[in-house]
Amino acid sequence: MAESTDCHKAQQDCPKVLILKPIPFINLVGEQYFASNKFTFLEAYDSSLPLHQFLSTHSPSIKAILSSVGAPPITADILHLLPEVGLVVTTSVGLNQVDLLECRRRGIKVANAGSIFSDDVADFAVGLLIDVLRKVSASDGYVRKGLWATKGDYPLGSKLGGKRIGIVGLGNIGFAVAKRLEAFRCSISYNSRKRKPHVSYPFYESVCELAANCDVLVICCELTDQTHHMINKEVLSALGKEGVIVNIGRGAIIHEKEMVQCLVQGEIAGAGLDVFENEPDVPLELFAMDNVVLSPHVAVFTPESFLDLRDLVVGNLEAFFSNKPLLSKFGDW
Amino acid sequence: MNHQPTPQTGKEKNPNLKKISGIKMESIGVLMTCPMHKYLEQQLETHFNLFKLWHCNSSITEFLKTHQGNTIRAVVGDTNIGADAELIASFPNLEIVASYSVGLDKIDLRKCEEKGIRVANTPDVLTDDVADLAIGLILGVLRRICASDEYVRIGKWKDADFGLATKFSGKSVGIVGLGRIGTAIAKRAEAFGCSISYFSRSQKPFANYKFYSNIIDLATSCQILIVACALTEETRHIINREVIDALGPKGILINIGRGAHVDETELVSALLEGRLGGAGLDVYENEPEVPEELLGLGNVVLQPHVGSDTVETSDAMADLVISNLKAHFSNKPLLTPVI
């Protein structure tokens, strides 16, 4: 009979994968779909111990961390308490919640969500944009309140075709957004850290210059020190009174207070926002506006994306614990 | 629907009356059937002698109490009020019906042809907008965008998770009517990696999509069914209970055609009973009435017939109506003739 590789049956305890805060995605898919014979989850939030004490107690068995958006960041402090950790897996593409420098210094491997979300996020960005320009949510509400029969036709929207789209961050997601909007007869240009070779879209050195030459800005980049509050009053003024902004990146890429002011004063025409600086708080001024479409950070929330993510998360963890190459490794260490 | 222009038959009109040197265009009587677009109204007032039917309670009978029927030489109608047999009979000098729409279901085309009345519509200029809205409706329904906007606005985000929506990219799309609008929808859906199939009166030789000669087969094979054909006697209630059941509990119906394409009663019961997954509707059988049962559903998106309602397209449609009228009264070829 072959020796079992199921850690649950082995003499030693299963290696633990630390989770700091409940991960909605795991609940929505179903915890049973994350069961593995190579590891077991350790939920820090279930304990009554203060976090530092909990981590110190369990540190010998914590070999990996599963990090998600909205959970406590994986800081150098936390990593110092966990000398046995060899891997951080995130459920997001973005890694702004992980101290990458410390991971590199310690040789802790990092795996993110790769490109599995690109389609869903790009679809959502296009959906938000059409909604803002064509007032889909606003006029849907108008119909539901019975106003079409009593107050007449809803005010006109704005045509998507022919609009100049500025993609901020031409990664997998930005590229997927561009390909879709081209089919709507939009023209595409972009700003990125560097010009992309083999890409025919016009490149702008600065996001301000991009905004000045576009009708719509779609934020598809990562949140980093450089992109924090990158979209500010200056950029929005350059975008102009007919301009629309769509954000499916991270809330803090936009200077939220300044964006709200621009919307209040009519300095830009509208916004489609899936992310905010301080989720789940949303600036109250936005609730009164019908030229704004809001969503609760759900651009990846489809069963298809979640099942793909489940495969990737479990796949990365099992690969790590079997000494095999990670499926979606980030970084060169 | 695109008829080839036919030579004027029937009652012979005095061609001299149309020459600019004889009669100024500003004196030509044009009847607008209802408020459509302020810019169009202004243009008609500038270029012609405009009469507004809604000033007479939208009643031809009332209009004729205070106006001579033979004053009217042109009618501008839309999807609400077009030119039916009663209207055509009331205006013996009617020469042209210029519709502020691409759909012709509100115009008695047979009567127009019989009496030698020209008909023009507004194709092409609105194709993009209507196709864009079709995709907007799909994303609104599948990705629950409208529902999520409401969710955030009423403060629910802090309390609970919104839950899952459904992916659009890669789904199978079936189009009923592969005309200009149907083709434009197909091009957009292809960019989302969707597979495209269609049902039409006849197979289109230029189209690289799978053709179904039977609408039930189309509905069975696809997850998103989009109505994009013209409303005729044959296509009335083309989406009936059988088609809806074939589309099924995971299926989505999108209607940017005409309300009468869909058996609305069957649609409502299918949605309430879960036999259909969802619907995105821009048109209804009895606008602006919308079935009350739909108003509380989270798996539908309801639009107030706004397929071409952007500033850019409304102006372009208006310009086309004016250009067709000017062309006719200058004895020049119509830009977008139907008859």
Those residues whose C-beta lies under 8 Å from the C-beta of residue A108, and which sit 6 or more positions away, are A79, A85, A86, A87, A88, A102
Mutation for testing the A interface, residue in B38, B39, B54, B132 having most A CBs under 10 Å: B132
Q: What is the ipTM of this complex?
A: 0.91
Distance (Å, rounded) from C-alpha A167 to C-alpha A247? 10
pTM of the entire structure? 0.91
Judged against a pLDDT cut of 50, whether residue B13 lies above it is answered with no
Torsion-angle region of B163 (φ positive above 0: left; ψ -120 to 50: alpha; else: beta): left
Contact A119, B167 (CB under 8 A): yes
What residues of chain B, 216 to 275, have a C-beta less than 8 Å from chain A? none
**Letter string b/e over residues A21-50, b meaning 16 or more CB atoms within 10 A of that residue's CB:** eebbbbeebeeeebebebbbbbebeeeeee
Q: How far is A297 from chain B, CA to nearest CA, in Å?
A: 9
**Letter string b/e over residues B77-92, b meaning 16 or more CB atoms within 10 A of that residue's CB:** bbbbbbbeeebbebbe
Residue of B161, B167, B302 lying closest to A143 (CB–CB): B302
Residue of B135, B289, B305 lying closest to A130 (CB–CB): B135
- Which H/E stretch holds residue B317? helix B311-329
Distance (Å, rounded) from C-alpha B301 to C-alpha A136? 8
- What one-letter code names the amino acid at A239? L
- What one-letter code names the amino acid at B330? S
The alpha carbon of A319 is separated from its chain's Cα centroid by a whole number of angstroms, namely: 24
C-alpha distances (whole Å) from A66 to each of A50, A79, A126 are 19, 13, 30
Mutation for testing the B interface, residue in A126, A165, A282 having most B CBs under 10 Å: A126
Query: Within chain B, how many helices (H) and strands (E) appear?
Result: 11, 12
Instruction: Note if B153 is an active site residue.
Output: no
Task: Please indicate whether, in this complex, the C-beta atoms of B157 and A141 are within 8 angstroms of each other.
Answer: no
Distance (Å, rounded) from C-alpha A106 to C-alpha A79? 9
The DSSP code for A183 is T
The token duo for A182 is: 């081209």
- Neighbouring CB atoms inside 10 A of A198's CB total 4
Distance (Å, rounded) from C-alpha A92 to C-alpha B115? 67
- DSSP secondary structure string, B262-275? B-HHHHHHHHHTTS
Asked, as a colleague might, if the bond just before A15 is cis with ω within 30 of 0, I would say no
- What one-letter code names the amino acid at A227? T
Q: What pLDDT score was predicted for residue A11?
A: 55
C-alpha distances (whole Å) from B188 to each of A179, B34, B146, B279 are 10, 33, 21, 19
Instruction: Note if B95 is an active site residue.
Output: no
Chain B partners of A141 at a C-beta cutoff of 8 Å? 146, 150
Contact B268, B293 (CB under 8 A): yes
Q: What pLDDT score was predicted for residue A10?
A: 66
- DSSP secondary structure string, B121-186? ---STTHHHHHHHHHHHHHHHHS-HHHHHHHHHTTGGGTS--------TT-EEEEE--SHHHHHHH
- Neighbouring CB atoms inside 10 A of A266's CB total 9
Distance (Å, rounded) from C-alpha B255 to C-alpha B262? 8
Distance spanning both ends of chain A, measured CA to CA:
38
Inter-residue long-range contacts of B292-299, CB under 8 Å, 24+ positions, other chains counted:
B293/B268, B294/B268, B295/A143, B295/A144, B295/A146, B296/A144, B297/B271, B297/B272, B298/B144, B298/B147, B299/B141, B299/B271
Residue range B282-333, pLDDT digits in tens? 999 999 999 999 999 999 999 999 999 999 999 999 999 999 999 999 999 9
Half-sphere exposure of B4 (CA within 13 A, CB side): 2
B151 touches chain A (CB under 8 A): yes
Task: Please indicate whether, in this complex, the C-beta atoms of B302 and A180 are within 8 angstroms of each other.
Answer: no
Q: Which of B314, B284, B255, B303 is nearest to B129 (CA)?
A: B314
Contact B26, B47 (CB under 8 A): yes
- Neighbouring CB atoms inside 10 A of B172's CB total 16
Query: In percent, how much of chain B has pLDDT > 90?
Result: 90
Catalytic residue among B258, B264, B266, B328: B258
Kindly give the residue spans of alpha helices, DSSP state H, lying in chain A.
24-29, 51-58, 76-80, 100-106, 118-134, 136-144, 147-151, 172-182, 207-212, 233-239, 256-264, 303-321
Residue of B128, B161, B311 lying closest to A185 (CB–CB): B128
Those residues whose C-beta lies under 8 Å from the C-beta of residue B287, and which sit 6 or more positions away, are A148, B80, B259, B304, B305
Mutation for testing the A interface, residue in B101, B127, B164, B297 having most A CBs under 10 Å: B164
Instruction: Note if B237 is an active site residue.
Output: no
Q: What pLDDT score was predicted for residue A3?
A: 42
**HEC letters along A281-324:** ECCHHHHHCCCEEECCCCCCCCHHHHHHHHHHHHHHHHHHHCCC
Contact B218, B198 (CB under 8 A): yes
Catalytic residue among A58, A250, A256, A258: A250
Residue range A70-127, pLDDT digits in tens? 889 999 999 999 999 999 999 999 899 999 999 999 999 999 999 999 999 999 999 9
Residue of A157, A161, A294 lying closest to B153 (CB–CB): A294
Task: Please indicate whether, in this complex, the C-beta atoms of B314 and A156 are within 8 angstroms of each other.
Answer: yes
Query: For residue B305, what is the nearest residue in chain A, using CA coordinates?
Result: A153
- Burial (CB count <10 Å: 0-12, 13-18, 19+), residue B93: middle
The pairing of strands A270-273 and A292-294 is parallel
3 state DSSP class of A272: strand
Q: What pLDDT score was predicted for residue B158?
A: 82
Residue range B219-278, pLDDT digits in tens? 999 999 999 999 999 999 999 999 999 999 999 999 999 999 999 999 999 999 999 999
Distance (Å, rounded) from C-alpha B223 to C-alpha A59? 49
Residue of A183, A281, A304 lying closest to B188 (CB–CB): A183
Chain B partners of A127 at a C-beta cutoff of 8 Å? 136, 139-140, 143, 145, 168
The DSSP code for A157 is B
Chain A partners of B187 at a C-beta cutoff of 8 Å? 183
pLDDT-based confidence at residue B16 (cuts at 50, 70, 90): very low
Run means of pLDDT, 10 residues per run, chain A, 333 residues: 63 86 86 91 93 94 93 95 97 93 97 94 98 98 97 96 98 97 98 94 98 98 96 98 98 98 98 97 96 95 92 97 96 92
Q: How far is B300 from chain A, CA to nearest CA, in Å?
A: 9
Question: How many contacts (CB atoms, under 8 Å) link A and B?
Answer: 178
- Neighbouring CB atoms inside 10 A of A115's CB total 14
Chain B partners of A148 at a C-beta cutoff of 8 Å? 287-288, 290, 304
- Burial (CB count <10 Å: 0-12, 13-18, 19+), residue A205: exposed
Chain A partners of B190 at a C-beta cutoff of 8 Å? 183
3 state DSSP class of A256: helix
Residue of A127, A182, A294 lying closest to B152 (CB–CB): A294
Judged against a pLDDT cut of 50, whether residue B6 lies above it is answered with no
Kindly give the residue spans of alpha helices, DSSP state H, lying in A65-99.
76-80
Residues in chain B, overall count: 339
Task: Please indicate whether, in this complex, the C-beta atoms of B151 and A144 are within 8 angstroms of each other.
Answer: no
Strands (E), B234-327: 252-255, 278-281, 300-302
Query: In percent, how much of chain B has pLDDT > 70?
Result: 93
B168 touches chain A (CB under 8 A): yes
- DSSP secondary structure string, A9-50? TSSSPPPEEEESS--HHHHHH-GGGG--SS-EEEEGGG-SS-
